[in-house]
Structure 1
Amino acid sequence: MDLQTIENLSVSLAHMSLIVLVLMLLEWGILIFSNYIESKKEGVVSIVSYLVQSIPYFLLSKVLIVGVMFGLYNFRIFELGFEWYYWIIAYLLYDFTVFFIHFLGHKVRFLWCIHGVHHTAEEMNLTVVARGSIFDVFFTPFNFIWLPILGFHPFMIFVIEPIARLYATLTHISEKYVGKHKWLEYIFITPSVHRVHHAKNHIYLDRNYGETFSIWDRIFKTFQKEVDNEKIEYGIMHDELNSESFWHVQFLMWKELWFDVKNAPTIIDKIKYVVMPPGWNHIDGGKRAESYREEAWERRGVKD
């Protein structure tokens, strides 16, 4: 495969966002028609979030993101070709980076204020994919923007990223249509595995960060399968956040972070509120996801 072919393919895949939007609306319409979803407004908030967050992404992508990638490629460390094995390596590196950035999105409160928007939905369907922060443009490009420095041509990344994004979209499909696939879970992030990631059940908190492959979660011991007798409850651990409110979804966590930083007694504590995991406080250290998860497993007895 030559560079011109790859460039043409990347141009074709540039319309992937439109395909994803069509899939969202199609599934959402079917779920509404079949009375399977409880909150029609939640889907509206997700789609509005998608449209709003697309504006800064569109404005910056051509000038900044693409420019940076080609700039880095000019200083590439290795001279890599377009052979099939380089595509596999590039995809694996991309997917591991997604895993790592995703992990940080749950462990650094400042980043959680961005990524946590995606977790505020209390029902699982494809419209959840659209539920992103208006500040995502400052977070998600780090999944791929650095790869050209290694020698992967930017057009390769422009092919890989939308394909991976389409796969990630399908992992959000409603449980009405897709159940468990136990054998696939050994290698891939399936809809069942990703449902666990979106759960607010204490037993499921901060698990399954992968996008395409589950191998990273298994290596770093963050994998958790869906437990038969633990029905998933979607959303985040926040009693006051309204998942049907665009303002709440986009800005409430920022407002609370600002309140904590402003009222912290020392500079060090102010910084910690920004960089420590959600749940941390300067009084007694707070209670974080791992503590809730451990307690939940202790109540169950033996881990499933």
Structure 2
Amino acid sequence: MPEFPNLIHFAIPFFIASMLLELFITTKKNIKSYEPKDALTSIAMGLGNVFIGLLSKGLVLLALFFVYENFRIFTIPIAWWSFVLLFFADDFSYYWFHRISHECRLFWASHVVHHSSQHYNLSTALRQTWSGSFYSFVFWLWLPLLGFHPAMILLQMSVSLLYQFWIHTETINKLPKWFEAIMNTPSHHRVHHGSNPVYLDRNHAGILIIWDKLFGTFQAELDHEKVVYGLVTNIQTYNPVKVAFIEWYNMLKDAFSGKKSLSNRLKYFIKPPGWKHDGTGKLSNNLREEWLATHLNSQSNPKLNESSEHISIPVKGKKTIA
């Protein structure tokens, strides 16, 4: 078992210093991105995630090692070139984990925690799940199957998490075009945290934004559509325990209350958030299509039309970039 440093633990002083610097800058620029109760809730969620991670890490390592020791196809050495390959493989895994976490309610139940803040700052990056680490690792099991050592995988997952910390800010507007074209940036990730219909379920990238562009989930931040952070229906609480588990409660209640077929009960775990067995629910795609129908070709909003080339438009069930 090769020994790699625990990057997250080493980064904690950097997290604190960065948040204090951001608070100073936003206060000076009169950007009201911090709210004390909200920030404290995010920090509490982050601390809880680190503590629970001490328990879940054992399960993740066990699963990764089980696949690696018993089923690996190749044995990939620990070398610079294998870390380059792993960088892309891990980021690809993260994209699909993140996307499915928005399209399947079972995974959304844990991921919703990260979207529950109505503010966007570096403390929001710390608002992490207390339950997802016990089962989200399934999206990475193909990596030890290929032959990547579990220690390498965990290290690269930490690198990805560290990268995503700095993009949770409003203090950076747009970076150079070449960087915005390839990498995930504060602008791209602000879109991901938006509750505006046009921004829902977009930009699932970890480090590279290319996956969203390749698979049709990219959405540029529009100059004339200010991001509204949070959920379509916000969780009105600062209680960390409620933030961590309220969607689990709601999902289980929807699945097991009332008269429903077994098939419909199971669909409450599999279908996207917003799905209802009686057809009364609205999915993010429905909300997005309604928004596009109203705004995209609106003669009353010519400024939006000027930005239409940056809007991802669903066509006949598929998603394309206009």
Classify the TM-score, shorter chain.
0.7 to 0.9
- Deviations along 1:149-171, whole A, 9 cap, x unmatched? 21112232233222221111111
Residue among 16, 37, 59 paired with 2:55: 59
CA distance in structure 1 between the aligned counterparts of 2:199 and 2:109, rounded to whole angstroms: 20
Residue among 152, 155, 158 paired with 2:151: 155
Q: Is the 8 A contact 1:72 1:148 kept in 2?
A: yes
Q: Is the deviation greater in 48-57 or in 242-251?
A: 242-251
CA distance in structure 1 between the aligned counterparts of 2:46 and 2:12, rounded to whole angstroms: 11
Residue among 98, 102, 113 paired with 2:98: 102
What aligned pairs does 1:153-192 form with structure 2 within 5 A after superposition?
153-172=149-168, 174-176=169-171, 178-181=172-175, 182-192=177-187
Q: Is the deviation greater in 44-53 or in 63-72?
A: 63-72
- Give 1:17 shift: 5.0
Gaps of 5+ in 1: none
Aligned residue type for 2:184:
I
Establish whether residue 257 from structure 1 lines up as the match of residue 251 from structure 2.
Answer: yes
Residue among 259, 263, 271 paired with 1:268: 263
Residue among 41, 48, 65 paired with 1:45: 41
Q: Is the deviation greater in 67-76 or in 104-113?
A: 67-76
Establish whether residue 216 from structure 1 lines up as the match of residue 225 from structure 2.
Answer: no
- Give 1:33 shift: 5.5
Q: Is the deviation greater in 125-134 or in 32-41?
A: 32-41
Q: Is the 8 A contact 1:24 1:127 kept in 2?
A: no
Q: Is the deviation greater in 278-287 or in 66-75?
A: 66-75
- Give 1:81 shift: 2.3
CA distance in structure 1 between the aligned counterparts of 2:137 and 2:15, rounded to whole angstroms: 20
CA distance in structure 2 between the aligned counterparts of 1:159 and 1:53, rounded to whole angstroms: 17
Identity of aligned residues (%): 31
- Give 1:12 shift: 5.4
- Give 1:14 shift: 5.6
- Give 1:87 shift: 1.6
Q: Is the 8 A contact 2:115 2:231 kept in 1?
A: yes
Q: Which residue of structure 2 lines up, in the alignment, with residue 296 of structure 1? A: 291
Aligned residue type for 2:189:
H
Aligned residue type for 1:106:
H
CA distance in structure 2 between the aligned counterparts of 1:215 and 1:275, rounded to whole angstroms: 27
Aligned residues: CA RMSD = 2.3
Aligned residue type for 1:103:
R
Q: TM-score, normalised by structure 1?
A: 0.88
Q: Is the 8 A contact 2:200 2:284 kept in 1?
A: yes
Q: Is the deviation greater in 30-39 or in 243-252?
A: 30-39
Establish whether residue 30 from structure 1 lines up as the match of residue 10 from structure 2.
Answer: no
Establish whether residue 116 from structure 1 lines up as the match of residue 97 from structure 2.
Answer: no
- Deviations along 1:120-171, whole A, 9 cap, x unmatched? 1111111111112211222443354542221112232233222221111111
Residues 193 and 11 (structure 1), Cα distance of their counterparts in 2 relative to 1, 3 Å cut: same
Q: Is the deviation greater in 211-220 or in 149-158?
A: 149-158
Q: Is the 8 A contact 2:60 2:134 kept in 1?
A: no
Paired residue secondary structure (1:121): coil
Residues 14 and 185 (structure 1), Cα distance of their counterparts in 2 relative to 1, 3 Å cut: closer
Q: Is the deviation greater in 267-276 or in 254-263?
A: 254-263
Q: TM-score, normalised by structure 2?
A: 0.83
CA distance in structure 1 between the aligned counterparts of 2:246 and 2:269, rounded to whole angstroms: 15
Aligned residue type for 1:13:
L
Q: Is the 8 A contact 1:65 1:145 kept in 2?
A: no
CA distance in structure 1 between the aligned counterparts of 2:246 and 2:65, rounded to whole angstroms: 37
Establish whether residue 80 from structure 1 lines up as the match of residue 76 from structure 2.
Answer: yes
- Give 1:109 shift: 1.0
Residues 252 and 71 (structure 1), Cα distance of their counterparts in 2 relative to 1, 3 Å cut: closer
